[in-house]
Amino acid sequence: MSSVREATLDVLRQCGMHRIFANPGSTEVAFLADLPDDLEFVLALHEGSVVGMATGHAIATGRPAFVNLHTTAGLGNAVGALATARVNRAPLVVVVGQQDRRHLALEPFLAGRLDGLAGAYPVWVNQPVLPQDVPAAVRRAWHEAVQHRGPAIVVVPMDDWSALVDPALGLAAPMTVRRAGSAPGPAADELAGLLDDAANPVVVVGAGADDRATWHALVSLVERLGAPVWQEAFGARAGFPQDHPRFAGHLPAGRSRLRSVLTGHDVALVVGTGAFRQYPYEPGPLVPDGLTVAVVSDDPDELHHSRADLAVLADPAALCAAVADRITSRRAAGEVVAAARPEPVDPPAPGEPMRARHVFAALAERLPRDVVLVEETPSTRPELHRLLPAREPRGFVSAAMGGLGFGLPAAAGLRMGDPTRPVVAVLGDGSSLYGIQGLWSAARYGCGALFVVLSNGRYAVMDRLADRAGGKAPWPAFDDVSVHGLAQALGCPARRVSDHADLLAVLDEVVPTLPDRIEPLLLDVPVRIERGFEP
């Protein structure tokens, strides 16, 4: 274990910031006392001079200079100079002291109301939620200052410096950020070299890769590289054709299982998402030892909160195509299927209730390749992924934030926005009730989507989480709510499916009409949900 201070000083060294420009106060003593000999303290007698000197240093070197300011008074005194630094396009990393976090709620003496104090002049401002996030925030401030050519501010409560961090966890910020721009040559060369040198690379894709150009580039890259492809956990859209032989499945959302999947790989190329999205929190390292992670995205925020050695800000399609052209083909070893295809699902026995897998299997046999599948069924999402792979770009859409109520109205909007593609929404009954009024609009404006509602009259995920926590859920079932009745009251045609045979008959009748359908339809399908659940 090392302290937050020691880890932050290491970040300063790694970023080449060996001078600390400051006019110190009491909230900075824990950071500055006993400064190591390889770091130079530069004193100025007023904060305007502190920032002015740092600005000149940054202009002369072309690299960010490091500034340490004293809570409200120090930052307030420096605002004019920070404005000058911003207009002069001088990159600065500014750490501002704050009172002890343990009694900030009481507004002790020298507690600063620092948010917004410098106005719009900083290019980025952050107060880390936890002490162990401080080193990563300082590294991100360095990248933000470089990218936006101005001062980036990190507010650090004084007691954070003595807190401990586990170096095995790594920093939630990339070591190196490249900006490929319109000419991805140098970045593509670097990534191609990294992949060519890898003994066992792996590719991870996310929602930011969900377009035809990126799919085409990734397929070319993966087929030359001979690597398995995993979809990010809780991805809102599919970043790769999920019926491709190299598609391995969806990454697990827990650290231990993620490490298990990635163990044995030495390089992970992550495209169109951060590295790595997780839920719920688990202690321990995020990735196995020895894994080099490179992230490619056109979203700078996605890059900056990644646990990565290399991050490249670029158009994923253009960069992946350039990398594919540069890497050495490994196809001589022959094609290997990365993951077994799903086993056939037997229909329910006579008198046995339907399960979600029976519904998904029936849809899988009937839905056209270009269907847009909208998902909001948290308790059965893993089975849906397994049985209903996305086969075309924009073939899978879900809520990126995880809040309920997105799927039903989004399906109507997707059909309205592109009436050339059939749209099917698969929803839990609990999820559907958050956006049920969207059916009125779907009917009113002729959005011919099919809404398949899996009805079990309860919040199954919440029940399972309560079971796992060993507690009794206080919320009741709502199996007295009629989803198809609500749909009909809102002017949307709806049918209650009685059993598996009825489901197959309805789908055989309705699915062929989806491409040209104007009138929406809701199917209320009773299912029994299994108790086990792994996100």
Tell me the residue ranges of DSSP E strands in 36-121.
Answer: 40-43, 65-69, 92-98
Domains belonging to the chain, first-starting first, are 2-166 (3.40.50.970), 176-333 (3.40.50.1220), 356-526 (3.40.50.970)
247 token code pair: 């598609």
- Contact between 396 and 376 under an 8 Å Cβ cutoff? The reply is no
pLDDT recorded at residue 332: 45
Could you tell me if residue 464 is left (phi over 0), alpha (psi between -120 and 50 degrees) or otherwise beta? alpha
Helices (H), 285-390: 300-304, 316-326, 356-366, 381-387
Q: 119 by DSSP, 3-state: which?
A: coil
Cα–Cα distance measured from residue 152 to residue 95, given in angstroms and rounded to the nearest whole number: 9
Report the pLDDT value the prediction gives residue 478, as an integer from 0 to 100: 79
Amino acid identity, position 33: A
Query: Cis omega (within 30 of 0) on the bond before 344?
Result: no
Q: 231, 196, 240: which is closest to 328 by C-alpha?
A: 196
Q: Where are the beta strands (DSSP E) in 256-381?
A: 267-271, 292-297, 310-313, 372-376
| DSSP code at position 123 | S
19 phi and psi angles, rounded to 5 deg: -120, 140
Identify the residue whose tokens are 């410098």.
118
Of the candidates 421, 326, 426, 412, which has an alpha carbon nearest to the alpha carbon of residue 376?
426
* Alpha-carbon gap, residue 500 to 347, rounded angstroms: 8
Q: How far apart are CA 506 and CA 487, in angstroms?
A: 17
528, amino acid identity: R
pLDDT of residue 333: 45
What's the distance, Cα to Cα, between the start and end of the chain in Å? 31
Query: Do residues 135 and 8 touch, judged by C-beta distance below 8 A?
Result: yes
Contact between 364 and 535 under an 8 Å Cβ cutoff? The reply is no
| Nearest alpha carbon to residue 124 among 97, 86, 163, 164 | 86
Residue 276: φ, ψ to 5°: -135, 145
Question: Residue 29 region, left (φ>0) first, then alpha (ψ -120 to 50), else beta?
Answer: alpha
* Residues of the chain with confidence (pLDDT) below 70: 182, 331-341, 530-535
Non-local (6+) Cβ contacts of 379 within 8 A are 356, 428, 460, 461, 464, 529, 533
Q: What is residue 237's DSSP assignment? A: B
The alpha-carbon radius of gyration of the chain (Å, integer) is 27
Q: Which residues lie across from 469 on neighbouring strands?
A: none
- The burial of 420, by beta-carbon neighbours within 10 Å (0-12 exposed, 13-18 middle, 19 or more buried), is given as exposed
Phi, psi (degrees; rounded to nearest 5) at 430: -60, -40
Please enumerate, as own/partner, the contacts of 495-499 that have beta carbons within 8 Å and a separation of 24 or more: 495/521, 495/522, 495/523, 495/524, 496/524, 496/526, 497/523, 497/524, 497/525, 497/526, 499/354
Strand bridging mode 124-126 / 164-165: unpaired
> In angstroms, rounded to a whole number, what is the distance separating the alpha carbons of residues 386 and 383?
5
